């Protein structure tokens, strides 16, 4: 039986959709998606603020622009069949306007451009944090409700972006939302550098009994490409949201210590109670806001919860609908990360 009642002609058309735009194609996940698409012989265009030599080496067309610029986004979408919307402003601190411009307006621009240019498929990168309240999450699936309040502007704006993509699903535009959890691997340029830079000052929050989900970057990239291919074959998946991860929860501070070990650093030995970290985070947030300090607090309420509470998810839906299986294990991922650190170290 043909998926979702598609005719032979429709199936052939879906299989021929080879022109792909990746927003944020120069970023960590974006580049991993581009590399995988290149192996599968897709025609790829990247839309980012800058140019990247890594993409140039892959002979990827690069278009520069701001995701909050509707005209720039529409021009980038010209001639495309499929869009991976990966570009986003991440982090736990910053003013709402900047998060809204990138994450919400940027996503609205992508949706509008898809509709204006007759693009049939959109895969959107969201975050499990859109479903966080201030409680632990242990094995929840996609039925987990959105919280009434968010601790960060990132969460709130990613929630609004996710909802925009779900609501845009229609007969003409098919969409899927993916929620990858803590993407890591060689070359990751946010979480891992921060851990390494603070190696000598890190303090364990809580008792390290909290399990968390993560996802190795190659697994995340494969999940995105699988989502696009399955969506083309089965339009009934349109509008769906999927958690994706290693499907192997790990203790939070074991994860951090293994990153430190891969980099040749000592493990974290000091600790503070989770409640104290939360209180410190609340005080620091107030001080930074009142004094309008630059940078970001060393601790926030959200970060204290991230570091002390369990957050892991049931990915059975992604396995069933997308055929997603994490091919790179945590152990193999850390072997690759260690080799990368060694290759980056001065000799």
186 within domain boundaries: no
Number of helices (H) and strands (E) in the chain: give both, helices first: 14, 15
CA nearest to 53, candidates 21, 74, 84, 25: 25
pLDDT recorded at residue 68: 97
User: What count of other Cβ atoms lies within 10 Å of the Cβ of residue 333?
Assistant: 23
Catalytic residue among 132, 150, 154, 242: 154
290 within domain boundaries: no
253 within domain boundaries: no
55 within domain boundaries: yes
pLDDT recorded at residue 294: 86
pLDDT recorded at residue 5: 45
Tokens of 325: 């299986």
Q: What is the domain-level CATH number for residue 77?
A: 3.40.50.720
Ranges of residues in the chain with a pLDDT under 70 are 1-17, 346-347
User: What count of other Cβ atoms lies within 10 Å of the Cβ of residue 274?
Assistant: 18
User: What count of other Cβ atoms lies within 10 Å of the Cβ of residue 145?
Assistant: 8
pLDDT recorded at residue 281: 93
Digit-coded pLDDT (tens) for 205-263: 999 899 999 999 999 999 999 999 999 999 999 999 999 999 999 999 999 999 999 99
272 within domain boundaries: no
* Residue 96 annotated to the active site: no
204 within domain boundaries: no
Range of the domain at 141: 3-181+214-248+313-328
Q: Give the Å distances, CA to CA, from 148 to 141, 155, 180, 288.
A: 18, 12, 22, 24
Which residues have CB under 8 Å from 51's CB, separation 6+?
A: 26, 62, 64
pLDDT recorded at residue 2: 43
Digit-coded pLDDT (tens) for 181-197: 999 999 999 999 999 99
Query: How far is it, in rounded angstroms, from Cα 258 to Cα 58?
Result: 31
305 within domain boundaries: no
Ramachandran sector of residue 118 (left: φ over 0; alpha: ψ -120 to 50; beta: rest): left
296 within domain boundaries: no
pLDDT recorded at residue 296: 86
pLDDT recorded at residue 4: 47
pLDDT recorded at residue 263: 96
Give how many domains the chain has, as a whole number: 1
């Amino acid at each position: 039986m043909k998926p979702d009642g598609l005719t032979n002609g429709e199936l052939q058309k879906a299989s021929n959709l080879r022109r792909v735009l990746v927003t944020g194609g120069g970023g960590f996940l974006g580049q991993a998606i581009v590399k995988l698409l290149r192996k599968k012989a897709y025609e790829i265009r990247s839309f980012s603020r800058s140019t990247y030599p890594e993409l140039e080496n892959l002979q990827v067309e690069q278009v520069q622009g701001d995701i909050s610029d509707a005209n720039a986004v529409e021009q980038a979408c010209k001639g495309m069949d499929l869009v991976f919307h990966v570009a986003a402003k991440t982090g736990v601190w910053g003013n709402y306007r900047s998060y809204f411009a990138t994450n919400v307006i940027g996503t609205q621009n992508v949706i509008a451009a898809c509709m204006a240019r007759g693009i049939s498929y959109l895969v959107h990168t969201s975050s499990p944090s859109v479903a966080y309240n201030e409680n632990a999450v242990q094995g929840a699936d996609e039925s987990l409700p959105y919280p009434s309040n968010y601790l960060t502007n990132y969460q709130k704006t990613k929630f609004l972006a996710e909802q925009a993509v779900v609501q845009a699903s229609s007969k003409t535009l098919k969409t899927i939302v993916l929620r990858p959890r803590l993407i890591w691997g060689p070359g990751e340029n946010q979480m891992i550098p921060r851990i390494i830079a603070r190696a000598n000052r890190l303090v364990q929050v809580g008792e390290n009994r909290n399990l968390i989900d993560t996802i190795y970057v190659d697994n995340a990239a494969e999940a995105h490409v699988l989502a696009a291919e399955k969506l083309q074959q089965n339009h009934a998946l349109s509008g769906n949201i999927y958690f994706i991860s290693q499907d192997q929860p790990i203790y939070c501070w074991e994860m951090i210590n293994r990153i430190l070990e891969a980099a040749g650093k000592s493990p974290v030995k000091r600790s503070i109670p989770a409640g104290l970290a939360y209180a410190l985070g609340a005080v620091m947030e107030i001080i930074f806001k009142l004094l309008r300090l630059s940078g970001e607090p060393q601790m926030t309420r959200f970060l204290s919860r991230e570091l002390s509470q369990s957050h892991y998810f049931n990915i059975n839906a992604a396995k069933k609908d997308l055929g997603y299986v994490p091919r790179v294990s945590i152990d193999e991922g850390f072997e690759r990360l260690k080799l990368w650190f060694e290759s980056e170290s001065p000799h």
